[in-house]
Structure 1
Amino acid sequence: MMVRMVTNNEAESRYEIHVDGALAGFLEYRTAGDTVALVHTEVGDEYGGQGLGGKLAKFALDDAQARGVKVSPTCPFVAKYIDKHPEYRVTVR
């Protein structure tokens, strides 16, 4: 069984997902005041098709909601994720 863990690497301004301890993907962000721009999502080819990008998007959006900040989904993947999960639209600036 693969162990998946998502963390916020604040030093690198990105959320990271690790599979069995190895970095499998990340979602870069930029913070400006009370808005977080979600700018780029990338998952390694060997981890494609496992839903890891969606897990990153969900984690980032949940984190923004918990911190009371708005998001600007400039990354097309995150924008599409929000379209498919309308409960996150209230988080969008």
Structure 2
Amino acid sequence: MSDSKAISVERRDHGKHGTYVIRTPGLTSHATLTWTASEGVRHATHTFVPDELRGKGIAGRLIDALVADAREQGFRIAPECSYVVAAFQRHPEWADLRA
């Protein structure tokens, strides 16, 4: 995974819940960020990155996709998993999106 720009995030939106997924050839497990929705807020409930992909910015790419969608679609984000909470602390420019 030498070119992180080539990483694509798949968005799965099922209305009241969904997942952002990064698939990697050769691995059976995928990086995911799961969410549930309520009253215009997406609750980021869990982020998972397989051991083989950790330390490569993969979780950050998942959160970037969530933030981009929030800006485009107009929802707010409730960080509930520890990784998303920490990402919001590192990015004060996202404060307007925090529920």
Q: Tell me the TM-score normalized by structure 1.
A: 0.88
Code of the residue aligned with 1:8 in structure 2: it is: R
CA gap of 1:34–1:18, structure 2 versus 1, over 3 A, is same
Deviation per CA, 1:27-79: give whole Å up to 9, x if none: 00001121110000000111111010011111111111211111100011011
Question: Gaps spanning 5+ residues in structure 1: where?
Answer: none
Q: Does 1:41 align with 2:47?
A: yes
Alignment correspondent of 1:71: 77
The answer on 1:14 being equivalent to 2:19 is: yes
Question: Which blocks of at least 5 consecutive residues in structure 2 are unaligned?
Answer: none
Q: Identity of counterpart residues, as a percentage? A: 25
Quote the Cα distance in structure 1 between the aligned partners of 2:93 and 2:23. Answer: 26
Supply the RMSD in Å over aligned alpha carbons.
1.9
Distance in 2, Cα, partners of 1:8 & 1:49: 22
1:65–1:58 Cα change, 3 Å? same
Higher strand share: 1
| Aligned-partner SS, 2:23 | strand
- Match of 2:77, SS state, is strand
Question: Residue type of the partner of 1:51?
Answer: G
Q: For the residues of structure 2 that align with 1:15 and 1:34, how far apart are their CA atoms?
A: 18
